């Protein structure tokens, strides 16, 4: 039998020192969150929701707007096509997911767009006019 | 699609930079990996979201398989981040290579952020049928 897991794997041992080097998360804490983890960002005219869901196809996602929330649903089944063998290690998550993301601004759901590249799902949501930043004219009055 | 199991978020595991001093700059993570063995081969399947096929490297160094992936997708520096649940980073992991692997026939394929490395075993250890003959 191939003893591939019996050997020392570098970078595996949990160490106390490692704790201090963990990247700072703004709100995430370890443990149970709804899959997938997301990053919400913005430009002047759109919101962007990103998540890492490798090994899918865009067709496998069900993405839609429900009120002021973006729904991202789908399923990823690992291990398909593998047979006649056995696992030494199974770390990749397998199953279904359903995540609702409450958006911080009003968006035009009809013009939303989704892309999937290298396992990253990116949903772009154009902001409605009222939500876009705009210049406020300021009148300067000489005293 | 009927799926019984609901996925949970697994936080990314940082590479131990006490051991990998060369990875001190930037975020480096240990990619989640499935290791599957059949009588003929060993298959590694690794999640490396954000890595394109030409940014993944697989090297054999001494008795180890060393996998490195540089993230090129996943974050746009021009965006203003409002909310963040994960950090984007590169991937690095070492695997001990057992002698049963035929090192000349290892194949690596990247698709949708998943790296699949297929490692056939040497002929000597593959299952063989031994013909039973009648007594002369």
**ipTM associated with this complex:** 0.83
Contact B65, A47 (CB under 8 A): no
In a mutational test of the A interface, the residue from B18, B21, B34, B102 whose CB has the highest number of chain A CBs within 10 Å is B34
pLDDT at A21: 35
Nearest by CB to A95, from B3, B20, B30: name it: B3
Range name among B47-56, B103-112, B118-127 with the lowest pLDDT average: B118-127
What are the distances in angstroms from CA B120 to CA A49, A87, B40, B101, B127? 40, 16, 6, 6, 12
Structure-token pair, residue B53 = 């096929």
pLDDT at A20: 36
Q: From A53, which residue of chain B is nearest by alpha-carbon distance?
A: B49
pLDDT at A71: 94
* Percent of chain B with pLDDT strictly greater than 70: 97
pLDDT interval class at B4 (50, 70, 90):
low
CA distance B97 to chain A (A): 6
Question: What does DSSP assign to residue B2?
Answer: -
pLDDT interval class at B20 (50, 70, 90):
confident
pLDDT at A32: 58
Contact B27, B90 (CB under 8 A): yes
pLDDT at B55: 94
Listed in sequence order, the residues at least 6 apart from B50 whose beta carbon sits closer than 8 Å to its beta carbon are A52, A118, A119, A120, B71, B72, B73, B74, B88, B113
SS3 A123: strand
A38 has a chain B CB within 8 A of its CB = yes
A90 has a chain B CB within 8 A of its CB = yes
Single pTM value for the model: 0.79
Give me the residues of chain A with pLDDT under 70, please: 1-32, 131, 143
Contact check, Cβ <8 Å, B84/A95: no
Residue B43 and residue B38: Cα distance in Å, rounded? 8
pLDDT interval class at B3 (50, 70, 90):
low
């Amino acid at each position: 039998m191939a003893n591939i897991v019996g050997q020392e794997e570098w970078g595996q041992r949990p160490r106390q020192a490692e704790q201090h080097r963990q990247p700072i998360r703004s709100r995430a804490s370890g443990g149970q969150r709804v899959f997938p983890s997301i990053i919400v960002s913005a430009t002047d005219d759109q919101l962007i929701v990103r998540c890492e869901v490798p090994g899918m196809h865009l067709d496998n996602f069900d993405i839609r707007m429900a009120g002021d929330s973006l729904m991202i649903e789908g399923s990823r089944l690992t291990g398909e096509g593998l047979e006649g063998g056995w696992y030494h290690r199974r770390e990749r998550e397998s199953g279904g997911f359903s995540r609702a993301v409450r958006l911080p601004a009003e968006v035009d759901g009809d013009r939303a767009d989704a892309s999937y590249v290298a396992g990253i799902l990116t949903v772009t949501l154009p902001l409605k006019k009222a939500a876009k930043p705009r210049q406020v004219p300021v009148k300067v009055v000489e005293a | 699609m009927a799926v019984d199991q609901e996925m949970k978020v697994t936080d990314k595991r940082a590479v131990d930079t006490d051991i990998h001093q060369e990875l001190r700059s930037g975020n480096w993570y240990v990619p989640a990996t499935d290791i599957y063995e059949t009588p003929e081969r060993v298959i590694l399947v690794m999640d490396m979201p954000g890595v394109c096929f030409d940014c993944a490297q697989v090297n054999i160094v001494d008795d180890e398989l060393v996998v490195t992936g540089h993230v090129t997708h996943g974050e746009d520096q021009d965006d203003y981040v409002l909310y963040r649940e994960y950090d984007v980073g590169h991937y690095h992991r070492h695997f001990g290579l057992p002698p049963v692997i035929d090192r000349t026939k290892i194949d690596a394929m990247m698709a949708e952020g998943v790296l699949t490395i297929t490692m056939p075993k040497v002929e000597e250890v593959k299952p063989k049928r031994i013909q039973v003959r009648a007594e002369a």
